[in-house]
Structure 1
Amino acid sequence: MQQKIVIKVQLTSQNCRTKALKIAAEAKGVSNVSIDVEKEVVEVIGIGVDAVSLAQSLEKQLGFASIVSVGEVKKPEEPKPAIPIEWTSSYIHCPRYAVHYDGFCRC
């Protein structure tokens, strides 16, 4: 079961971002790491990742780290296959008759 861990950290400089990525990537069981600079959070996805030890190691190197959320990764929903709709024509087909007009009226 993959889990997603969101940890709030202080990302004041590029050096802090690099350290946070390196620490999170080296943790056991991590398969994906991303940083949201605007929210100042590190998102870690992996199997069997210890969130507490990861937060402690981030706090040791960066000065501040707190766990925001730990949860299971949600799989995207598969789109339901579209059921084709059969349209019936409301137009009644009339038989065609051949009409020959040779220019003279036989009235």
Structure 2
Amino acid sequence: MKQKIVMKVPMYCRKCQTKALKIVAKENGVSFMALGEEKDSVVVIGEGVDAIKLAKSLRKKFKNTHIITVAEV
């Protein structure tokens, strides 16, 4: 089952965006990742991606991370 996860991550510069995408890329099952239409959002699509584990990984670098939506694709 493929999932689409949208997360709000405080990213203030291009370097922060790159770091966030690198953290997302390390997770198992990720097939697509991109920055959202909003400045501070990351969109992840994949099969078997654990949204809570992903949020914990992002919180280690970016202290204030929120899961906005988790939906099936």
TM-score, normalised via structure 1 length: 0.65
RMSD, aligned α-carbons: 1.1
- Aligned partners of 2:38 and 2:71: how far apart in 1? 21
Consecutive unaligned residues in structure 2, runs of 5 or more = none
Alignment correspondent of 2:26: 26
Q: Which has the larger radius of gyration?
A: 1
Change in 2 beyond 3 A, CA 1:62/1:37: farther
- Which structure has the highest strand share of the two? 2
Amino acid at match of 1:18: T
- Which structure has the highest helix share of the two? 2
TM-score, normalised via structure 2 length: 0.93
Structure 1 residue 36, shift from structure 2 partner: 2.2
- Aligned partners of 2:60 and 2:7: how far apart in 1? 14
Consecutive unaligned residues in structure 1, runs of 5 or more = 74-107
Q: Determine helix, strand or coil for the equivalent of 1:31.
A: strand
Number of aligned residue pairs: 73
- Aligned partners of 1:49 and 1:36: how far apart in 2? 18
- If asked which structure has higher relative contact order (CA below 8 Å, sep 6+), I would say 2
- What does 1:25-64 correspond to in 2, within 5 Å? 25-36=25-36, 38-64=38-64
Alignment correspondent of 1:9: 9
- Aligned partners of 2:64 and 2:28: how far apart in 1? 21
Structure 1 residue 37, shift from structure 2 partner: 6.0
Kindly provide the CA deviation profile for residues 68-101 of structure 1, in whole angstroms up to 9, marking residues without a partner as x. 000101xxxxxxxxxxxxxxxxxxxxxxxxxxxx
Alignment correspondent of 2:67: 67
